[in-house]
Chain A
Amino acid sequence: MRLLPWHKPHLLVRPNNLKLRKLNTMEYFIQQLINGLTLGGMYALIALGYTMVYGVIQLINFAHGEFFAAGGYVGAIALAYFAGIGYMDSHPVICLTASFMIAMAYCAYLAVGVEKIAYKPLRKNSRLAALLSALGMSIFLSNGMMLTQGVYDKVYPGELFQGRFDFGMVTISYLQIMIVSLTACLLVGLNLLVFKTKIGMAMRATAQDKTMSALVAIGSNRIISLTFAIGAGLAAAAGIMYGLYYGSVKYDMGFVPGIKAFAAAVLGGIGNITGAMIGGLIIGMVEIFGAGYISGEYKDVFAFIILISVLYFKPNGIMGENIDDTRV
């Protein structure tokens, strides 16, 4: 039996604070807090896609992690292209903004098509069928990326945001500030969209009752497409952030962060947008603190343990609405 190329655990805790050897200092704690916030923000962005899609069509979109990876790739490609034509040095901020936009648009485009091909025809079938289709789509997309982009890590170009603030032993890089503030902007924007606009109201209505939504002239197909597009766009943003933060992207990088983000969505109460944001932050924090204080090797396990214990003890999550769990 041959071994197949698949996931090698990524180095998720970047050793940018190696000088902090003393575990029991306040500085170490604050440093971990900042790192956890950065990572948690990314998980929150991915988790939103899971939770919104689950809220609207009750499907675990296994391919969502692949949207995240695709976002990372397209961001890398766009940044490399801008560097290639020489814009990067003269207008770094514009290039970065444009890369984010391109990656988000690309993933939205990808997700809408994926939904139409692999999920929409199965909406009336059993949930098992849609789930398996989603799983197949996940494998298909990650291998499609491998075939077009190669098996090896794709390195992020340029020396973006290399500066850092030093507060004694604590360092905050410009990149972390950028990631955290952009995440905050996206989260606030999403909240406004969902809770303050007419289209957001229609999304919530579709999630609650599709038949009744049709009876008040809301086309559920359009709303579902929109949900996929928004979720994938957020995942793509997280993908670029991840690439910038860890320096490279890989075709199968969507898998583990994908499951962790799903754990975040479950922790927050699946279908609940605010819950997914909080859940993402908690999972990020737990992972960083677990790696920092307990064991670096088992950092991936913490998220899974949270996932399992939440589902066991409080399946509706910390902010969960009542889910009708008889609908299998």
Chain B
Amino acid sequence: MSLQPILELKNVHSGYGSIKALKGISLKVMPGEIVAIIGANGAGKSTTLMTICGIVPIEKGEIYYDGKLINKVSAEKLPTMGLCQVPEGRRIFPRLSVMENLRLGAFHRDDTDQIMKDIQHSYEMFPILGERKAQQGGTLSGGEQQMLAIARALMTKPKVLLLDEPSLGLAPIIIQQIFDIIAKINKEEDVTILLVEQNANLALQAASRGYVVETGEITLEDEAQSLLTNPKIREAYLGE
């Protein structure tokens, strides 16, 4: 692997006021990969993603995206550079229609024709969204909202997609669907994916590599398969 990582964190510290949530996170994501971050509740997984996206201000360390330092880049610039996040809890705009939610994903783009094509493409990928395109986002079910959130993120034409807890609160059958879609996006749309999950089993099966986060620090880093067979991980995160 002589490739340059598309996303790299070097000893990143951040937090909320006096509370330090991240105490030196370092990780690398190679182009085309699916990388999973697993860990318990409150370990700092979501904060990691929010720090990458510039929502939580970084205190120390460096974040490189595509070889460029993005510490000081403001949050709303990052999606235009191809770095997009599907946040925890999906955060659909509840009083905008499905269509409007998708169009907001393409807010920074000016190519109207291509945007309409992409919206059609989203409807093909998620037929349920096409059926409900005039409905308000807040009236969708959890699974539909998750699909909408992913579709909306894809509208920004991302190179790297950060996914935060895509399985949260969903029925097992829906979760399977979502993970199939994630794999499909990764292969067909050529999007690099950084995945944060509490459901370690699912995440590690989908991912090629994985990181384990505990209280704001990376404690383990390995191929996903070896993590799945690691007895410690099995005990701590896979419920055995």
A/B touching: CB–CB < 8 A: yes
Q: Indicate whether B174 reaches chain A with its CB closer than 8 angstroms.
A: no
Judge whether A208 and B94 touch: CB under 8 Å. yes
- Chain A hits for B94, CB < 8 A: 208
Could you tell me the distance between the alpha carbons of A202 and B74 in the complex, rounded to whole angstroms? 17
217-273 of chain A: CB within 8 A of chain B: 217-220
The residue that A211 contacts in the complex, of B55, B105, B153, with Cβ under 8 A, is B55
Return the CB mask of B43-73 against A: 1 if under 8 Å, else 0. 0000000000111000000000000000000
Judge whether A202 and B104 touch: CB under 8 Å. yes
Judge whether B104 and A208 touch: CB under 8 Å. no
B58 to chain A, nearest CB (A): 15
Could you tell me the distance between the alpha carbons of A213 and B85 in the complex, rounded to whole angstroms? 11
Judge whether B76 and A201 touch: CB under 8 Å. no
Judge whether A204 and B96 touch: CB under 8 Å. yes
- Chain A hits for B79, CB < 8 A: 215-217
Judge whether B104 and A215 touch: CB under 8 Å. no
A55 to chain B, nearest CB (A): 11
The residue that B76 contacts in the complex, of A198, A208, A209, A217, with Cβ under 8 A, is A217
Judge whether B91 and A211 touch: CB under 8 Å. yes
Q: Indicate whether A137 reaches chain B with its CB closer than 8 angstroms.
A: no
- Chain B hits for A217, CB < 8 A: 76-80, 107-108, 156
Q: Indicate whether A301 reaches chain B with its CB closer than 8 angstroms.
A: no
- Chain A hits for B54, CB < 8 A: 214
- Chain B hits for A201, CB < 8 A: 96, 100, 103-104
Size class of the A contact interface (CB-based, 8 Å): 10 to 19
- Chain B hits for A216, CB < 8 A: 79, 84, 104-105, 107, 152-153, 156
Q: Indicate whether B93 reaches chain A with its CB closer than 8 angstroms.
A: yes
- Chain B hits for A89, CB < 8 A: none
Judge whether A204 and B95 touch: CB under 8 Å. yes
125-164 of chain A: CB within 8 A of chain B: none
The residue that A205 contacts in the complex, of B55, B75, B96, with Cβ under 8 A, is B96
Judge whether B107 and A202 touch: CB under 8 Å. yes
Could you tell me the distance between the alpha carbons of A220 and B55 in the complex, rounded to whole angstroms? 12
Could you tell me the distance between the alpha carbons of A284 and B157 in the complex, rounded to whole angstroms? 49
Judge whether B91 and A209 touch: CB under 8 Å. yes
Q: Indicate whether A192 reaches chain B with its CB closer than 8 angstroms.
A: no
A188 to chain B, nearest CB (A): 20
Could you tell me the distance between the alpha carbons of A216 and B53 in the complex, rounded to whole angstroms? 11
Return the CB mask of B79-102 against A: 1 if under 8 Å, else 0. 110001101000101111000100
- Chain A hits for B75, CB < 8 A: 214-215
Judge whether B95 and A220 touch: CB under 8 Å. no
Judge whether A198 and B87 touch: CB under 8 Å. no
Could you tell me the distance between the alpha carbons of A204 and B156 in the complex, rounded to whole angstroms? 19
Could you tell me the distance between the alpha carbons of A217 and B158 in the complex, rounded to whole angstroms? 12
Judge whether A219 and B76 touch: CB under 8 Å. yes
Judge whether B91 and A212 touch: CB under 8 Å. yes
The residue that B103 contacts in the complex, of A198, A219, A220, with Cβ under 8 A, is A198
Judge whether B91 and A321 touch: CB under 8 Å. no
A15 to chain B, nearest CB (A): 45
Question: Across the two chains, which residue of chain B brings its CB closest to A207?
Answer: B95
B100 to chain A, nearest CB (A): 6
289-328 of chain A: CB within 8 A of chain B: 321
Instruction: Give chain A's interface residues, CB within 8 Å of chain B.
Output: 198, 201-202, 204-205, 208-209, 211-220, 321
Nearest 9 interchain pairs by C-beta: A217-B79, A214-B75, A217-B108, A212-B91, A219-B76, A214-B76, A208-B93, A205-B93, A217-B107
| New A-B contacts (9) at CB < 8 Å, excluding given A213-B104, A215-B55 | A201-B104, A202-B107, A204-B93, A209-B93, A211-B91, A216-B107, A217-B79, A218-B107, A220-B76
10 contacts between A and B (CB under 8 A): A198-B107, A202-B107, A204-B95, A215-B55, A215-B84, A215-B87, A215-B91, A216-B105, A217-B76, A219-B74
